[in-house]
Structure 1
Amino acid sequence: MTVRRSAALLAASAVLCVAAAPASFAAPTPTPSAPALPAGLYGKGDPTYDGVWRQSLALLAQDTVGVKPAAKAVDWLTGQQCDSGGFPSYRADAAKACDAKLPLDSNATAAAVQALAALGGQDATVKKTVGWLKSVQNEDGGWGYNPGGASDANSTSIVIGALAAAGEKPDAVKSKGGKTPYDSLLTFAKPCGGKDAGAFVYQQKSPGMIADSTAAAVLAAQGKGLVVTAGTKDAKGTVCEKATTVEGAGHNGAAYLAAALAKTGHLNTPPMPGATDPAEKPDFGNTADAVVALSAQGLTDEAKKPLEWLQKNAPAWARETGPAAYAQLVLAAHATGADPKSFGGADLVSGLNATGPAPEKPAADEKKDKDKKDSDGSGMGLWWIVGAFFAASVGAGFLLSGRRKNRQR
């Protein structure tokens, strides 16, 4: 679930005087020169609309594959938090208190919670942030993109994932009106039999990019965040059934995604407003999110074709787009058991690491390789020298290689 810098979310945010740049689209303002960007920030593009978002996804993806991020990268993220506990999309001067007019961003805040909870050692920050999220819960049990905005499926879904990551029980988090996040989420589910059967819309009166909100809601229906592994096989398959529970609606949402992906293996996105080319384009980000959702739902067979499409086509997209895109692919690989270091021939982990400050600790298999190199015949260790001297002295006609057995990567 990459909640979700879609065109629909961008439009909704603009109404509220704040925009959110899609992960798969260029920022709508000029990119500042590299020296103007914070040293701990991932990516080189303008962070105004997605700084906290892309940083959170980068850190979360690194943690998922065993990479310990640079301390200054984590410090940059925690430094974005306002005194209230919420996070804006980005604030340039973290040394100053947040401007009262600076809109806080529930999506960025919830992503930050998931990243910081996964990294550990940030309990106070996470607790304060969760407190803020609870304080801005709408009467219907959900959340809008900004406090006070109408609830939407994307924002409600990623906050559910944040609550779960922080050790909360989402179904026990009730609004002043006594509604839970799941009460709100169910209102966005489309019934079976009609148009977009089983999908989750962004909002009832503003459907948005339906695959985007559906992938988010499928994970939330299971009480899961952005990092998942393959779930138990869904015995219902891809049949849409009347749903009265959020779990049933989640199944229907996954069935919708499976059908949308079955023909080509990828989702499409409509042209941006003002685009000269009216043709739809492949939607890499939402396809990756759909793979995560299908895998979590236990529809692993249905996830295979889009995963293969991503492996063939998406690495180039990630190189062009930046850290959030790399993170989406890493999370898709993790959800399906694919190797993010050999994803269609691309090393997503190295690619992600290269977009920000050098991590403090490499991935586990990289560390194993280093340990092996330090101890085997590729280095002149003490035992190599002793063994060679011994062999030469007794004229045995062979050298001790000193190599240990190859370790499985």
Structure 2
Amino acid sequence: MNIRRSAAALAAATVVLGAAVPAAATPSPTPSVAIPDGLYGTTDPTYDGVWRQSLALLAQRTTGVTPADRAVAWLAGQQCASGAFAAFRADAAKACDAKLMVDTNSTAAAVQALAALGGHQAATEKAVGWLKSVQNADGGWGYTPGGASDANSTSVVAGAMAAAGEKTSEVRKGGKSSYDALLKLSVKCDVDPDGGAFAYQPDKKGALAANADATAAGVLGVLGKGFVTKAGTTPKDGYLCSNSSEPFTPFELARNGSAYLAQSVHDTGYLKSALPGAEDQPDYGNTADAVVALAAQGWTEQAKKPLAWLEQNSAAWAKQSGPAAYAQLIFAAHAMGADPRHFGDTDLVAQLDATGPTPQATAKATDQAADTDTDTDKKDDSDSGYGVWWIVGVFLVAGIGIGFLISVRGRKRQP
């Protein structure tokens, strides 16, 4: 789910329902607020602070890095008394009020991070309780409480539920679960060229348009998996999109979404950006999400090409986009069993660590090195450096989503 929270100010202003998986990260303007101590990223955190921090900490935990205490404390301190998280609270000492826009994506991302870090059971339970309280009658979630369900938000919340030890199939509202909501957003396989894909939301006429970002999110959502996952079992029934077994099981629905993604990256190895007015260019974030989704489904053969493309081409994008982008790439490498410390010519772990407070493990190594270092002018730089990230909401206004690709596909084919 891409992380992609770009121009989120507009998204928030128009109450656009956002992304979990969320995708292409783009630097924000010069920060209009001071960057808090402990927060990753140097760009304005107003619309993505909790999101990028959650992804950064989760990626560090996934690679065996112990984050700095103050980085974890900053994230935990962003939680409201209700259990919800907003995108960013400049003054965490001030109680949350009705004017503060809390959202499901920030809350669900924080749950996944805090659950992985451990020691935050009370906080995660409270957050999960809030998420359950704002579940829609169709079983899904929108970006904001009461907003129409969308594939991205529903999926990131499903991942949070799983991370917190909940069975996603049992988290229901009106008898409906996240699976039921995602099923309604799945394009049937005989609908060319979009068969198998997930839509972000139906359009005003109820039609479903393929959205690669929503599809990557949807695959993880129906499988009950979060941002961090390992490769699933290679399927025995081939790599086809099929309507033959309706009603679909979650695995079958995920298979259909994977068929769409596999076909989309088959020729070039990457997904293309389809944002309004955007040039025909690669979407790095959504490509990384596609790798995670394909791997989770067990389609590792189909994920090899986009992973290799990212290894060769994503360094500049990640450097510009910041910690959440590095986290996305780490999740893709982890899902495929690749070493994020040797990702092409990039050490993703070191690059991520450098965007924020020095992790505890790194600090230890630095202290030991200082014992033999004769350069007395060197300083510990644990107080400097940050990163970036983006809220997807804005470009999802018309059900467009972030970084999706519509490719020409037939009903049943092997990519």
Is TM-score (shorter-chain normalized) higher than 0.5? yes
Tell me if structure 2 keeps the 8 A contact 1:174–1:181.
yes
d(CA) in 1 for partners of 2:314 and 2:351?
13
Give the C-alpha shift of residue 308 in structure 1: 0.5
Structure 1, residues 33-66: CA drift from partner, whole Å, max 9, x if none? 7xx2001100101111111000000000000000
Supply the distance in 2 between the matched residues of 1:141 and 1:370 (Cα, whole angstroms): 51
Is 2:54–2:109's contact at 8 Å kept on the other side of the alignment?
yes
Cα deviation for residue 209 of structure 1 reads 6.9
Match of 2:82 among 61, 67, 84: 84
Structure 1's 6 and 187: CA in aligned 2 closer, same or farther, altered over 3 A?
farther
Quick one: distance in 2 between partners of 1:192 and 1:19?
Answer: 26
Tell whether the 8 Å contact from 1:66 to 1:362 is kept in structure 2 after alignment.
Answer: no
1:96-135 alignment to 2 at 5 Å? 96-135=94-133
When the two structures are aligned, how many residues end up with a matched partner?
364
Q: How does 1:200-211 map to 2 (within 5 A)?
A: 200-205=198-203, 210-211=211-212
Q: Secondary structure at the match of 1:16?
A: coil
Counterpart selection for 1:268 from 268, 272, 277: 272
Distance 1:91 1:117 in 2: 21
Give the conservation status (yes or no) of the 8 Å contact 2:9–2:47. no
Alpha carbons of 1:193 and 1:12: their partners in 2 closer, same or farther (altered >3 Å)? Answer: farther
What is aligned with 1:224?
A: 225
Q: Which has the higher contact order (CA 8 A, sep 6+)?
A: 2
* Paired position in structure 2 for 1:136: 134
Q: Secondary structure at the match of 2:230?
A: coil
Correspondences of 1:15-54 after superposition (within 5 Å): 15-16=14-15, 24-26=24-26, 29-32=29-32, 36-54=34-52
Do 1:3 and 1:107's aligned partners in 2 also have CA atoms closer than 8 Å?
no
Aligned partner of 1:393 in structure 2 is none
CA shift, 1:32, in A, is 3.8
The CA distance in 2 between the partners of 1:370 and 1:96, in whole Å, is 36
Closer, same or farther in 2 for the Cα pair 1:208/1:115, shift >3 Å? farther
* Distance (Å, rounded) in 1 between the aligned partners of 2:361 and 2:296: 28
CA RMSD of aligned residues (A): 2.7
In our comparison, the structure showing a higher alpha carbon Rg is 1
Match of 1:184 in 2: 181
Q: Deviations over 1:3-56 (max 9, x none)?
A: 55378x9876553178889653435654247xx200110010111111100000
1:6–1:212 CA contact under 8 A, matched in 2: no
**Using a 3 Å threshold, how does the CA distance of structure 1 residues 113 and 139 change in structure 2: closer, same or farther?**
same
Which residue is equivalent to 1:75? 73
Whole-Å separation in 2 of the counterparts to 1:91 and 1:171: 32
Structure 1: distance between partners of 2:322 and 2:209 = 24
Task: Normalising by structure 2, report the TM-score.
Answer: 0.82
- Structure 2 partner of 1:169: 167
Say yes or no: does 1:303 pair with 2:307: no
Q: Could you tell me which residue of structure 2 aligns to residue 235 of structure 1?
A: 236
Provide closer, same or farther for how the CA distance between residues 186 and 133 of structure 1 changes in structure 2, counting only shifts above 3 A.
same
Q: Secondary structure at the match of 1:43?
A: coil
How big is the shift at 1:205?
Answer: 1.4
Q: 1:114 to 1:287 in 2, by over 3 A?
A: same
1:327 aligns with 2:327: yes
- Please give the alpha-carbon distance, in whole angstroms, between the structure 2 residues aligned to 1:3 and 1:218: 16
Given the superposition, is the C-alpha separation of residues 271 and 215 from structure 1 closer, same or farther in structure 2, using an over 3 Å criterion? closer
Alpha-carbon separation, structure 1, partners of 2:160 and 2:266: 30
Equivalent position SS for 2:85: coil
**Equivalent position SS for 1:138:** coil
Residue type of the alignment partner of 1:283: D
Q: Give the equivalent residue in structure 1 for 2:338.
A: 338
| SS at structure 2 position matched to 1:269 | coil
1:18/1:103 contact within 8 Å kept: no
5 Å-filtered alignment, 1:238-387, equals 238-242=239-243, 243-244=246-247, 245-273=249-277, 279-362=279-362
Preserved contact between residue 202 and residue 209 of structure 2 (Cα < 8 Å): no
CA distance in 1, matches of 2:170, 2:355: 39
Point out the structure with the larger helix share: 1
Asked if 1 retains the 8 angstrom alpha-carbon contact of 2:6 and 2:28, the reply is: no
Paired amino acid for 2:155: S
For residues 149 and 29 of structure 1, the distance between their equivalents in structure 2, rounded to whole angstroms, comes to 28
TM-score (norm 1): 0.83
Distance 1:333 1:102, change over 3 A: same
Matches of 2:253 and 2:127 in 1, distance apart? 29
Q: Which amino acid aligns with 1:287?
A: T
Residue deviations 1:86-118 (CA, integer Å, cap 9, x gap):
001111110101131111110111010000000
Indicate the residue corresponding to 1:65 in structure 2: 63
Matches of 1:81 and 1:10 in 2, distance apart?
20
| Change in 2 beyond 3 A, CA 1:339/1:268 | same
Shift of the alpha carbon at 1:272? Answer: 4.8
Q: Percent identity?
A: 58
C-alpha spacing 1:45/1:209, structure 2 compared with 1 (3 Å)? farther
Q: Answer with 68-77 or 19-28: which moved more.
A: 19-28
Post-superposition CA distance 1:281-331 (Å, at most 9, x none): 210000000001111111111001000100000121111100000000001
Q: Deviations over 1:115-140 (max 9, x none)?
A: 00000000000000000000000011
The one-character-per-residue Cα deviations of 1:235-283 (angstroms, maximum 9, x if unpaired) are: 233211114223211100001000000010000113555xxxx522210
Question: Structure 2: where are the runs of 5+ without partners?
Answer: 374-415
